[in-house]
Amino acid sequence: MTAPASVTVAAGRDGFNRAGIAALIGLGILFAAAFTLLSAFGTELNPGRNGGSHGLSVAATGYSGIVALAAATSQGGKVGRDEAALAGAGLLVLTPDVNSDGAEIKRLIDGRRGAPTLIVLPKHLTAPLPLKPHWAQRVAPLGGQAAAMPLRRLLPRLAIVEGAIPDGAALVGIDYPDLRLAAPGDARSLAPTSGLDPVLVGPQERIVIGWTAAKNLYVLADPDLIDNQGIAKLANAQAAVRLLVALADGRPGGIVFDVTLHGFGRSQSLLRTAFEPPFLALTLALLVTGALAAWAGAARFGTPPAPPRAIAFGKRALVDNAASLIRMGRREAAMAARYAGLMRDAAAARLRAPSGLTGAGLDDWLARRGGGGDYAALAAAATAATGRTDALAAARALFRWQETIA
């Protein structure tokens, strides 16, 4: 058998590379900060290009185009991710799909407190394209009953009429005579029995946009008037923008397209609050404090203080000289008896013995305390010491007694 090779480590070299450790710590801090920010603001960083029918979607059935056009008007336009933006909008545009929660729609409208809201009913059943998920493909037309389903709580009489308006027919505003739009293909309208006042009508007074005073609520039967495919032509885009501006009627807050119904709302959390004013200043102060504390722990400021000496300069020499004199004079045995008296006095002081006790009386008092052994026997052994070895053994026994007596 051969002996295993010995492993040697060069003296003076660290086991880890300091630059590598610093890089790992820096990457850890960076990834932790990125995770924290994504957890707090992840929904806002989501572009929303999932082929859906909402204000962030670039699909044919999305509304990102009309949002951009509305933003360029004097009224202003944007998407709304939180309840404050939705409640304060001059005109709120809701674009529910067939799976939208009717109770949530009602809650959003109730929060408007009489401010106008436009609900765009769904028309198409779509699915994202496999290779281009931000686009959508039409699977089938959505039936009239299914399209009206999200508003059953608000408008139980709502009904949709399919294909009653010819393609390209003129749609005219009742209270807005200058407002004219061209009907899209397979245009839909609201049934007269829906209980809505006409706002935008087609041939034979077919209601394309209806209004109810109960909630100041507008209902658009056909989304192709304002979605991305509907505003592909310049004339249609201009007319769609004029329609929204007319419904907003100059109210402050602008035209806001809701995206919370599609899962892109701004979530409220303690983590998010920490990174928003006015708490952002406190968060930054805590981060700076933590960074300074880490710096102070990693690098020392100034020269490190030297630890105090067990025996101060000069005193050690005195102790050594005294011990040498005792050793040279062979007085170790004679010093043992005096050391016994010193230990007795130290124990009496620590245990607060009565001040009048001395000699045998003090010995009896210490004997009654218990623990540590018999002082009289230890003192006798120290007195009887005849050499350095006996004296050292007696001194050690006396020291242990002084430490353990209770």
Is 330 found in the same domain as 239? no
Is 319 found in the same domain as 262? no
The residue segments making up the domain with residue 338 are 315-404
Residue type at 297 in one-letter notation: G
Is 373 found in the same domain as 233? no
Q: Are residues 196 and 207 in contact, defined by beta-carbon separation less than 8 angstroms?
A: yes
Is 222 found in the same domain as 110? yes
Please tell me the distance from the alpha carbon of residue 248 to that of residue 219, in angstroms, as a whole number: 14
Last residue of a domain, one of 266, 298, 330: 266
DSSP string, 210-224: EEETTTTEEEES-GG
- Pairing state between β 117-120 and 91-94: parallel
Residue type at 11 in one-letter notation: A
Q: Are residues 247 and 116 in contact, defined by beta-carbon separation less than 8 angstroms?
A: yes
Q: Are residues 200 and 174 in contact, defined by beta-carbon separation less than 8 angstroms?
A: yes
Q: Which residues of the chain have pLDDT under 70?
A: 1-16, 39-50, 134, 139, 265-272, 299-302, 309-312, 370-372, 406
284 within domain boundaries:
no
Is 110 found in the same domain as 257? yes
Predicted pLDDT of residue 218: 95
Q: Residues near 97 by Cβ (< 8 Å), separated by ≥ 6?
A: 52, 53, 122, 150, 261, 262
Q: How far is CA 184 from CA 70, 98, 208, 339, 406, in A?
A: 20, 21, 11, 115, 103
Is 185 found in the same domain as 122? yes
35 within domain boundaries:
no
Burial (CB < 10 A; 0-12, 13-18, 19+), residue 134, is: middle
In this structure, what token pair is assigned to residue 130?
Answer: 């496999």
375 within domain boundaries:
yes
389 within domain boundaries:
yes
Is 224 found in the same domain as 157? yes
49 within domain boundaries:
yes
Predicted pLDDT of residue 1: 43
Burial (CB < 10 A; 0-12, 13-18, 19+), residue 331, is: middle
Is 183 found in the same domain as 69? yes
Residue 250: HSE in the Cβ half-sphere, 13 Å Cα cutoff: 0
25 within domain boundaries:
no
Is 191 found in the same domain as 48? yes
Is 357 found in the same domain as 238? no
Predicted pLDDT of residue 17: 78
19 within domain boundaries:
no
Please tell me the distance from the alpha carbon of residue 72 to that of residue 76, in angstroms, as a whole number: 6
Predicted pLDDT of residue 324: 83
Last residue of a domain, one of 251, 266, 281: 266
The structure's pTM equals 0.60
DSSP character for 243? H
Q: Residues near 54 by Cβ (< 8 Å), separated by ≥ 6?
A: 48, 62, 63, 79, 95, 257, 258, 259, 261, 262, 264
Is 177 found in the same domain as 62? yes
Predicted pLDDT of residue 45: 60
279 within domain boundaries:
no
Last residue of a domain, one of 230, 247, 266: 266
CA 235 to the chain's CA centroid: 46
Is 328 found in the same domain as 226? no
In this structure, what token pair is assigned to residue 150?
Answer: 């999200």
Number of domains in the chain: 2
